[in-house]
Amino acid sequence: MNDEQTSNNNNNTNDNVNNDNVTNTEAGSELEFIQIIGQIEGHGILSSQTKTTKYEEIIPRLMNVEYNPEIKGVLIILNTIGGDVEAGLAIAEMIRSLSKPTVSLVIGGGHSIGVPLATSSNYSFISPTATMIIHPIRMNGLIIGVPQTFQYFNKMQERISEFIVRTSKIKKETLTELMLKTDELLNDMGTILIGKQAVKYGLIDSVGGIKEALSKLKELIEDSTP
């Protein structure tokens, strides 16, 4: 009897942990809270020791946001090191295409493909100590040293840059300059932006926290209500 109760309790605990990985809409709430944390997992499965956000879990939730008339707006919390480019860009495009108000908040870091995820919302915030790393596209594994490979890299980078420029106030020339800097990252190219620096360059709209983000989301919902 005790063993059965313990097993049931463990199952309940596991269910709670799994549900917390992507925060859902509470009963009767008008807001959907989605957090994108750790590394964005795409078509490959990452190590069980790696904190991940799975795009096959995020995309159905975004579809539900668009379909569910009770949900009026979305707050996206970001603390990611980046990850799978295709998956991250797919999530960003989904967020951008929502007809309902969206606000993003970078709280720890929004690096690499986390940059277009941060700019994909209608309005974006970054906390004062949060950072964003802008760098050229990278690829792991076997790379064939032929011109077609570099053309593919350029096309992929252009897709990401075009999205960031389209969904933020940063100029393409400025983005490229930040991406190709060689004096900030050790053994790498790119730029680290901290808090208000991201706002200064037009990448993020405002410096703020959860209070400001929720207030802005409610404002956008009110403005969009007929």
Active site residues: 112, 135
Tell me, rounded to whole angstroms, the distance of Cα 80 from its chain centroid: 7
Q: Which residue has the tokens 């069980």?
A: 48
Strands 73-83 and 131-134: unpaired
C-alpha span between 60 and 194 (Å, rounded): 32
C-alpha span between 157 and 137 (Å, rounded): 6
Query: What token pair was written down for 69?
Result: 């008339």
Query: What token pair was written down for 217?
Result: 């989301």
Neighbours of 162 (CB within 10 A): 13
12 burial level (CB within 10 Å; 0-12, 13-18, 19+): exposed
